[in-house]
């Protein structure tokens, strides 16, 4: 089972059931069974600061992922900490409008994207083939969410 905790510094209340559906779909595609991650929802200012501090880009972004170091020893009975995903809710709202779909769909898309990063997928600074692997993984997860 994959567990998570939510930290929310926005006024909106996250849809826990929707997050659960996305995590279940991620579990079925990734085959990861014993793990947990942190999920945070922040506003524009906080996301801009994080993006500047960790990526050197002084602007708002939609999602940041911070994967846990892969070489940490984990006892067989313990859950593996995957890392943290941070979603900018204001940016997600703007993107949902731009893409002409619901905010819930955009949050799920960003969560799945963040989860893919936590397990080692990447799309920046990698070959086109590697970027396509990430996209394919995300598409498989998204099609399993109902």
The ranges assigned to domains in the chain are 2-143
Asked if pLDDT for residue 71 goes beyond 80, the answer is no
Q: Which CATH number fits domain 2-143: 3.40.50.720, 1.10.287.3510, 3.40.390.30, 3.30.360.10?
A: 3.40.390.30
This prediction has a pTM of 0.92
Question: How does pLDDT run across 99-114, given as a tens digit for each residue?
Answer: 999 999 999 999 999 9
Q: What is the mean pLDDT of residues 6-27?
A: 94
Q: What is the mean pLDDT of residues 62-73?
A: 80
DSSP 84-121: EEEEEHHHHHHHHHHHTS-HHHHHHHHHHHHHHHHTT-
Residue 79 pLDDT class (50, 70, 90 cuts): confident
Residue whose token pair is 């995300």: 138
Indicate the average pLDDT of the chain: 92
């Amino acid at each position: 089972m994959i567990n998570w905790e939510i930290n929310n510094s926005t006024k909106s209340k996250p849809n826990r059931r929707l997050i659960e559906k996305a995590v279940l779909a991620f579990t079925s595609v990734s085959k990861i069974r014993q793990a947990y991650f942190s999920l945070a929802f922040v506003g524009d200012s906080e996301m801009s600061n994080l993006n500047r501090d960790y990526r050197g880009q002084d602007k708002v972004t939609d999602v940041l992922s911070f994967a846990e170091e892969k070489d940490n020893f984990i006892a067989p009975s313990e859950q593996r900490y995957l890392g943290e995903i941070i979603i900018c809710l204001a940016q997600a709202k703007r993107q949902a409008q731009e893409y002409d779909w619901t905010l819930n769909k955009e949050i799920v898309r960003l969560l799945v994207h963040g989860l893919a990063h936590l397990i080692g997928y990447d799309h920046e600074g990698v070959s086109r083939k590697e970027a396509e692997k990430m996209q394919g993984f995300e598409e498989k997860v998204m099609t399993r969410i109902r």
